[in-house]
Structure 1
Amino acid sequence: MASNLNLQQQNKYLEAQVKTASPIQLVCMLYDGAIKFANFALAGIKEKNIEKKTVNIVKTEKIINELRISLNFEKGGEISTNLDKLYDFMYTYLIDANANEDVAKLEHVIRILSMLRESWYAIANKQTAAPQSQQAPLETVKKPPQLQPANAPKANERLDLAC
């Protein structure tokens, strides 16, 4: 009973965060969720827990799909086009990782998500630092700890998408 109450409190807190978040903060939250679930799926593969792997890969796929359908090609231009290609690439890799329990492909997706996440957090924090006219100031977006795998690329490391 206590854990059910705790879960309800967590859900209310998350709902409040989502309702008050800026669009950029929402994108950051989606990346956080995708990375979290991809890491759970990775643990599922390593533990040979098919249900854990499958449930969490599907959650990651759904988040990537949400990120993809939220792209604004009119305003985003080439950046939106490139993100669309990356999302398609990651979605395909997630399908392969799920079907073949491919750790390398899942880790590759986590690395891409982690790099994109860092970029969005930088944008959110830069926007927070810049003066905004007729808007309430955003709170600084803080990164949740330990969402990246130990082998995630460094900020200045280039990502090779070819496999």
Structure 2
Amino acid sequence: MSTTLMQARQRAQYTRDAVLSASPARLLTMLYDRLLLDLRRAEAAQVEQRWPAAAVDLVHAQDIITELSASLRTDVWDGAESLRGIYTYVHTALITANVRRDVERTREAIALLAPLHESWHAAADAVPAPATPSPALGGWSVG
């Protein structure tokens, strides 16, 4: 097995482990991190007229938006419907950005989502860390 292939498998395993062990707040911030990464990559590809690369990133961003929208709990949070409206608008903008090769629509999506990205990170940072096993404190410690 080549070193490159082994490293790729190790990275994939690390990512799987990170996702499986993440708290719900951390999962949300991870999704937003990847969403903004995809959009910035798509923007760069559009500027450079690398349309197939832009399409891959825009479609992946659409998938993340779909997941974020589907995970909203309108029965728990009054703001969920408003946020769903933003997600719906951004999803449509990303389709348009892809089909029309419109970098301005990609930039609009970034402008709408960047403040949400920052807000979700701030909210996640405010949530206390869960208790974790620690031999020093009889098996448990509070992070």
Distance, in Å, in 2 between the alignment partners of 1:25 and 1:101 is: 33
| Alpha-carbon distance, 1:2 to partner | 2.4
| Alpha-carbon distance, 1:34 to partner | 0.7
Structure number, greater radius of gyration? 2
Distance, in Å, in 1 between the alignment partners of 2:47 and 2:4 is: 27
Residue 118 of structure 1 pairs with residue 113 of structure 2: no
Using the size of structure 1 for normalisation, the TM-score is 0.77
Higher strand share: 2
Question: 2:20 maps to what in 1?
Answer: 19
Task: State how 1:6-155 maps to structure 2 within 5 Å.
Answer: 6-77=7-78, 79-128=79-128, 135-136=130-131
Q: Deviations over 1:83-121 (max 9, x none)?
A: 100000100100111111111110111122211111111
Please tell me the root mean square deviation across aligned C-alpha atoms, in Å: 1.6
Q: Deviations over 1:44-79 (max 9, x none)?
A: 1112111101111000000000000000000012x1
Q: May I ask how many residue pairs the two structures share in their alignment?
A: 133
| Alpha-carbon distance, 1:7 to partner | 1.5
Distance, in Å, in 2 between the alignment partners of 1:7 and 1:85 is: 38
Structure 1: state its 5+ residue gaps.
130-134, 140-163
Distance, in Å, in 2 between the alignment partners of 1:3 and 1:108 is: 37
- The one-letter amino acid of 2:97's match is A
Structure 2: state its 5+ residue gaps.
133-141
Higher helix share: 2
Using the size of structure 2 for normalisation, the TM-score is 0.87
